[in-house]
Amino acid sequence: MHTIERPTRSSSAPSPSADRWLQGFGPNPDGEVRTPPLRLICLPYAGGTPSVYRGWSAELGDGVHVVPVLLPGRGVRVKEMPYTAMGPLVSDLADALVELELAHDYALFGHSMGALLAYEVACELRDRGRPEPTHLFVSGSKAPHLYGDRRDHELSDAELRQLVSDLGGLGADDTIGSSYLERRLPVLRADLTVCETYRWAPRHPLRCPMTAFSATQDPIAPAHETEAWRVHTRGSLLRHHVEGDHFFLNGPSRPHLLRTIRAELARHLDESNRQGAATRDRPPTVKREPSWIY
């Protein structure tokens, strides 16, 4: 079947309003922006939607607010053209996070394409002088410097359907899954183009700790290529190898995944609370003269 070429979104084109990216996280009627204690900003896999993260808030506890990202071409953004290049996508998403004041006290989780996007967003925010995430969770993805060896976005529709099926993306009911996939093929192809035309640009490692998840039956992100994320942080990296295929986060390994995320975020919340208590108990300091400040 003939593949329609979709133009890359120009960086000079006006971006959608910020709250389209993060449904429900725009200003309140009184003009204030919602600021939960710690946000876990969740990025989808290729062709995915925020529904992947339904129910995560209840599993991760009251101190964490799950913020799923809605990319163009799906949901209420179905009429918007999906991106086909990483640079403009990262820039526009970072703009939205900054505008909604979500680029602080946050962690990032991404699966497959979402992991790569989470890493690039973390680097982009750092380059803008914003805080790095408190934690970066990467799932079902090889390290950024290993991308560039696949051309799945050039497959025919039939071949693309077979690939998703082989990876476990249709779930238990292939009939329902195939019907859903049929509607998602253009978005899936665009997302794959983002990933497969991506080339890592050398830069300093992040400082935040990372947790990486690989699965026993995932041919796209085998254990040794997931372990390679280690070079992209100066902090710690813990890797968990779980049972399942490429879409293990939707299967029996999901409880283990969520327990691990909850434990890591609880550690950050405890540390933040201790630092807050120490600050409140600290005696006032003498104000420095401007010439002392570098």
Q: Where do we find the tokens 């434990």?
A: 263
From CA 142, how far away is CA 86, in angstroms rounded?
A: 16
Catalytic member of 112, 139, 141, 253: 112
| DSSP letters for 130-190 | PPPPS-EEEES---GGG-----GGGS-HHHHHHHHHHTTTT-S-HHHHHHHHHHHHHHHHH
CA neighbours within 13 Å on the CB side: how many for 199? Answer: 1
d(CA 42, CA 71): 11
Q: Token pair for residue 246? A: 């490429």
CA distances from 232 to 119, 189, 200, 208 (A): 9, 27, 11, 10
Is 17 annotated in the active site? no
Q: Which residues are catalytic?
A: 112
